[in-house]
Amino acid sequence: MTGGRFVRLNPFVANNARVFDYVTGGKDNYDADREAADWLMSAHPQLPRDFTKAQEFTRRAVRWLGRTGIDQFADLGTGIPRQPYLHEYAPGSRWAYVDNDLVVAAHAQALLQLGDGSQVVLADFTEADRLFEKLGHVLDLARPIGVVLGSVLDFLAKPAQLVEALTDRLTPGSHLVISHAASDIWPERSDALERTFNERARMELFPRSSEELRSLLAGWTVVAPGIMGVDRWQAPDMEPGDGRDIASEPLDPVIYHGVTARL
Ligand SMILES: C[S@@+](CC[C@H](N)C(=O)[O-])C[C@H]1O[C@@H](n2cnc3c(N)ncnc32)[C@H](O)[C@@H]1O
C-alpha cells in the first residue's frame, strides 16, 4: 500500500483499488490489474466471494451504526465505489470518502454524486494531521464518527500509527468498522495469499491473527458479536430482513470482520 502522497495513474502497474475492482466484478481496471488479479484468483478461488462478503459486512455495519444515531462517516481507503454505495445505508448521514489515489478519487467523484455536504476527500491517511484537517472541512470532529477501514489496515506494515491517530483524535462514541486479512483462521491459505499478493501482485499484504488485532485495537471496545472470521457478523439489534445477505452455511473466509467502539 502506498505510504505517502498521492497515487497517479500508471496503467502498466497493478493497482490495489483496481485489482479489488476486478476481483469483485468491476470494469474500472487495466491489463496489469487483471493479470495480477487472475494470479491471485487462480491461487485463491475464494477471493471474489471473500471480498464481496467483506463489502456486505461493511454495509450491514454501517446500517446498524446509522440506526444507533451515528450520522457522519469517514470511509478511509474508499476504493472504486460499487453500488449500492455505503451512504445509502445510513440515510441522512454525511460522508467523507477518502483515498490517496487520483483515479479512485475521480471515479468516486463521478459515481457517488454526493449531496448534503458529503465529499470525496483526496488525502493520505498515513498523514494524520493533514487527514484530520481535511476531514474537519466535511465532518464535525467534535461529534462521534463511524470510520470504515475496509481492507486497508492489512496493507499497512505499521497499522498502529493509523489506529493510534484515530484513538487520539476521535471523540467518544465513535466506531471503527474493520475488515482485515486473517493469518490464523486458515494459516496455509493466508500464507499463500500473502505470498501471492507480495510476489505476484507486488502489493504488500500483512494478514494478522486475532491476538494481533486485539492488541492493535486495545484502545477500543469490541462490539458484540465480536471480531469474527466467519460470515456471521450481525448487528446487535438485527431487524427482520437485515440478515438476508448472511450465508445460511458457515463459510471459510480468510478475512476478519468486526466493529469497535470508542467509549
Ligand atoms: C484494498 S482497497 C479497499 C477498498 C475498499 N475499502 C473495500 O473495502 O473494498 C484499498 C484502498 O485504499 C487506498 N489507499 C491505500 N493507501 C492509502 C493511503 N495511504 N491513504 C489513502 N488511501 C489509501 C487505495 O488507493 C485503495 O483504494
What per-residue confidence (pLDDT) applies to 2?
41
When mean pLDDT is compared over 54-58, 120-124, 185-189, 190-194, the highest value belongs to 120-124
- Ligand 1 center to residue 51 CA distance, Å? 13
What per-residue confidence (pLDDT) applies to 53?
86
Angstrom distance (rounded) from CA 90 to CA 257: 19
What per-residue confidence (pLDDT) applies to 1?
43
Give pLDDT tens digits for 132-153.
999 999 999 999 999 999 999 9
- Ligand 1 center to residue 1 CA distance, Å? 8
**Model confidence at 194: pLDDT above 90:** no
What per-residue confidence (pLDDT) applies to 193?
79
Q: Which residue has the higher pLDDT, 132 or 243?
A: 132
**Model confidence at 63: pLDDT above 90:** yes
Mean local confidence (pLDDT), 15-26 = 89
What per-residue confidence (pLDDT) applies to 7?
82
Mean local confidence (pLDDT), 68-73 = 97
Q: Which residues line ligand 1 (CB under 6 A)?
A: 1-2, 7, 16-17, 20, 54-55, 77-79, 98-101, 104, 124-126, 150-152
What backbone phi and psi angles, to 5 degrees, belong to 261?
A: -120, 145
How much of the chain, in percent, has pLDDT values that exceed 70?
89
Give pLDDT tens digits for 211-238.
999 999 999 999 988 888 756 677 776 6
What per-residue confidence (pLDDT) applies to 192?
80
Burial class (CB in 10 A: 0-12, 13-18, 19+), 111: middle
Q: What is the mean pLDDT of the chain?
A: 87
Confidence of residue 262 (pLDDT cuts 50, 70, 90): very high
DSSP codes, the chain: ---SS-BPP-TTS--HHHHHHHHTT-S---HHHHHHHHHHHHH-TTHHHHHHHHHHHHHHHHHHHHHHT--EEEEET--S--SSPGGGGSTT-EEEEEESBHHHHHHHHHHH---TT-EEEE--TT-HHHHHHHHHHHS-TTS--EEEEES-GGG-S-HHHHHHHHHHHSPTT-EEEEEEEBSSSSHHHHHHHHHHHHHHS------B-HHHHHHHTTTSEEPTT-SBSSTT---TTPPTTGGGGS-SS----SEEEEEEE--
What per-residue confidence (pLDDT) applies to 244?
45
In the chain, how long is the greatest CA-to-CA distance? 47
Residue entry with cell 469490541: 222
Domain ranges of the chain: 16-225+245-261
Residue among 13, 73, 99 whose CB has most ligand 1 atoms within 8 A, to mutate: 99
**Model confidence at 246: pLDDT above 70:** no
Mean local confidence (pLDDT), 234-254 = 57
Domain 16-225+245-261 has CATH 3.40.50.150: yes
Residue among 6, 100, 121, 148 whose CB has most ligand 1 atoms within 8 A, to mutate: 100
Residue among 40, 78, 89, 203 whose CB has most ligand 1 atoms within 8 A, to mutate: 78
